[in-house]
Amino acid sequence: MDPYRVLVFSKTQGYRHESIAAGVETVRSLGAAHRFAVDATEDAGRFTAVELARYRVVVFLNTSGDVLPPPRQADFEGYIRGGGGFVGVHAASDTEYSWPFYGGLVGAWFARHPAIQPATVRVEDTNHPATAHLGPVWQRTDEWYDFRLNPRSRVRVLATLDERTYAGGGMGADHPWAWCHEYEGGRAFYTAGGHTVESYAEEAFRAHLLGGIRYAAGTS
């Protein structure tokens, strides 16, 4: 497929993750290695129909709070409905709680999290580019999100958290952690990983992000 462009958006109106800079650099380096160009912004004014048309994928990287005003929300909805791709990373689910379209796009909103600690991610789907490189069990350290509602009925779950392997999980035996779906004409991927700076130096997590971007771009 021809080279394409990815826009990384990391505006915060709530909690600001110290890992944002590392995340942006990771997406840039993945793009350099895999034939897609990357622009990064925290300017909501970039979300116009004309500007968004330049991009195959928009990544919400640890955004938080209300980051787009209503006119820019409308343009972003048009972008998705026109076949655009979306990738949400970690706190993308802690964003725009009063915008129903966005909640549906992400798949679930953040509810709470315990302390950063090691846990076991169990891979459900090894046919997706975001998880094909993984074995059935993925051991890693991160901040583990609970969600307000379980998204399973609305999305294709790729990996779940095993709450028996860490303290403080609140969703029970079925705890989706990464997923994808087609939504309103577009394609969306979400991973709850990516809180820590160290995540972005983790080769398995970088490959996970790359696979999500490729899915959203329609290249896989």
pLDDT, tens digit, for every residue of 168-213? 999 999 999 999 999 999 999 999 999 999 999 999 999 999 999 9
Mean model confidence pLDDT for the chain:
97
Percent of the chain with pLDDT over 90: 98
Domain ranges (residues) in the chain: 4-217
Report the CATH fold assignment for 4-217: Rossmann fold (3.40.50)
- Other Cβ atoms less than 10 A from the Cβ of 19: the count is 22
Mean per-residue pLDDT for 84-102? 98
pLDDT at 91: 98
pLDDT, tens digit, for every residue of 14-65? 999 999 999 999 999 999 999 999 999 999 999 999 999 999 999 999 999 9
**What order of strands is seen across the sheet that includes strand 186-191?**
36-41, 4-9, 57-61, 85-89, 186-191, 176-183, 156-162, 117-123, 137-142
Is residue 220 pLDDT above 80, yes or no? no
pLDDT at 1: 54
Alpha-carbon dihedral sign for residues 173, 170, 212, 136? negative
SS3 per residue for the chain: CCCEEEEEECCECCCCCCCHHHHHHHHHHHHHHHCEEEEEECCHHHCCHHHHCCCCEEEEECCEECCCCHHHHHHHHHHHHCCCEEEEEHHHHHECCCCHHHHHHHCCCEEECCCCEEEEEEECCCCCCCCCCCCCEEEEEECCCEECCCCCCCCEEEEEEEHHHCCCCCCCCCCEEEEEEEECCEEEEEECCCCCHHHHHCHHHHHHHHHHHHHHHCCC
pLDDT, tens digit, for every residue of 66-75? 999 999 999 9
pLDDT at 35: 93
The span from the CA of 63 to the CA of 91, in Å, is: 6
Q: What is the pTM of this model?
A: 0.98
